[in-house]
Amino acid sequence: MTDPRTALFQWIADRYPTPAIAGGGAVRALWKMLFYATAPQAPFVMRTQRYRLWVDPKKRKDIARAILHRGQYEPIETAIMLRHLKPGMTMVDVGANIGHYAMVAAFAVGPQGRVVAFEPDDENHAALAANLALNRLGNATAERLALGSAPGRLALHRDRANRGGHSLAAANVLAPAGAQDVAVATLDAYAASSLGGRRVDFIKIDVQGAEAGVLAGAAGVLARDHPVVLVEFWPHGIRAMGADPMALVERMLALGYRLAVIERERPDHLRALDGVAALARIDLSHPQAYANLLFRKNETGRE
């Protein structure tokens, strides 16, 4: 049975204009006040502009908690993804966490489209599957897999301070909380066995330094389908995985992709870069510094 505090807050959440808290101001302030005054003790369902999700009030360092307070998550990157998705397309979410991008994409591509969300961590995968079920997204699949350059099994190092900070490299974890053995597949093999010949139109990758391996294992899909690729580019984390960050970018450019970096201050939030030298001029020297990059194939004509 749900405790009285959670039941009360769920009653509020069912009636409160929670999508409006993304705009900030008095609506967000009142929402936070109600949350802390009510102090729910168990998971409850929150509505956002695009989907519903489970929020566990006891978990402070996760994406759901950020969405609880802000009403949204990475709105600029999300909007850029939506520019490139149309009904019937296939989207692959690598490092799906609790499913924000997967859920947004699943609604965008519609019942004829397909979303595959890869999340190897047991706890995050359970939250991802629960959120997809909550929204009745039958066009989305939650796979408990890591993607890499070759199939096998690896240790996923968990981060106590951040449920989005788990990494295949121990050096990338700020607050170590043990490791779990996870299965690793390549996107090429998965596409051949499970996508039934569907074209992959969009790939989002956020895997705490393992991005180079994911792209290496997707070489066939990249060459065949030329999907748009949104990737978190964290040089320190990529090096900790034994890869060269700039070599990752050079490989994408060699496939005929053009490169842009997401910048919040620009009207369209994208700045085209003419190559690796331009990217190198962005100061990413701090160990925690990263940039979100968008790769688009020249001949697609998609903006």
The single residue listed with the structure tokens 């149309």 is 86
Which tokens belong to 45? 């369902």
Per residue in 192-221, pLDDT tens?
999 999 999 999 999 999 999 999 999 999
Domain parsing of the chain, residue ranges:
4-70, 75-300
pLDDT score, position 299: 59
Which tokens belong to 1? 């049975």
Instruction: State the Cα angle at 250 between 246 and 254, rounded to 5°.
Output: 175
CA separation for the pair 114, 251 (Å, rounded): 27
pLDDT score, position 1: 54
Residues 159, 175 contacting (CB under 8 angstroms) = yes
User: Rounded to whole angstroms, what are the CA distances from 115 to 49, 111, 124, 206, 221?
Assistant: 19, 10, 17, 16, 15
Residue numbers of the chain with a pLDDT score lower than 50: 300-303
Q: Record the pTM.
A: 0.95
Fold classification of 75-300 is: Rossmann fold (3.40.50)
